[in-house]
Amino acid sequence: MIQAKYKRVIIKLSGEALVGQRKFGLEHQILDSISRQVKEILEAGVQTAIVVGGGNIWRGVSGSERGIDRATADYMGMLATVINALALQDTLENNHVDTRVLTAIEMRQIAEPYIKRRAIRHLEKGRVVIFAAGTGNPYFTTDTTAALRAAEIEAEAILMAKKVDGVYDCDPLKNPVAHKFSSLNYIDVLNKGLGVIDSTATTLCMDNNIPLIVFSILEEGNIKKAVMGEKIGTYIGR
Terminal alpha carbon distance of the chain: 30
Is residue 168 within 8 Å of residue 180, measured between CB atoms? Answer: yes
Query: What's the confidence (pLDDT) of residue 1?
Result: 52
Q: What angle do CA 133, 13, 70 make, to 5 degrees?
A: 40
Per-residue pLDDT averaged across 207-217, rounded?
Answer: 95
Per-residue pLDDT averaged across 21-25, rounded?
Answer: 75
Q: Which pLDDT tens digit goes with each residue over 151-196? A: 999 999 999 998 889 999 888 878 888 899 999 999 999 998 887 8
Rounded Cα gap, residues 50 and 88, in angstroms:
10
Query: What's the confidence (pLDDT) of residue 117?
Result: 97
Distance of CA 181 to the CA centre of its chain: 20
Query: What's the confidence (pLDDT) of residue 2?
Result: 55
Question: What phi-psi label fits residue 136: left (phi over 0), alpha (psi between -120 and 50 degrees) or beta?
Answer: left
Residues linked to residue 101 through DSSP beta bridges, in sequence order: 130
Q: Set out the domains of the chain in order of their start, with CATH numbers.
A: 8-237 (3.40.1160.10)
Q: Where are the alpha helices (DSSP H) in the chain?
A: 28-43, 60-65, 70-94, 116-124, 142-153, 186-192, 199-208, 222-228
Nearest to 37 by CA among 232, 229, 222: 222
Rounded Cα gap, residues 105 and 144, in angstroms:
16
Instruction: Say which range, 2-11, 111-120, 168-177, 203-212, has the weakest mean pLDDT.
Output: 168-177
Query: What's the confidence (pLDDT) of residue 200?
Result: 94
pLDDT at 229 over 60: yes
pTM of the model: 0.93
Is residue 48 within 8 Å of residue 9, measured between CB atoms? Answer: yes
Query: What's the confidence (pLDDT) of residue 4?
Result: 86
Query: What's the confidence (pLDDT) of residue 141?
Result: 93
Query: What's the confidence (pLDDT) of residue 238?
Result: 86
Q: Which residue type sits at 98?
A: D
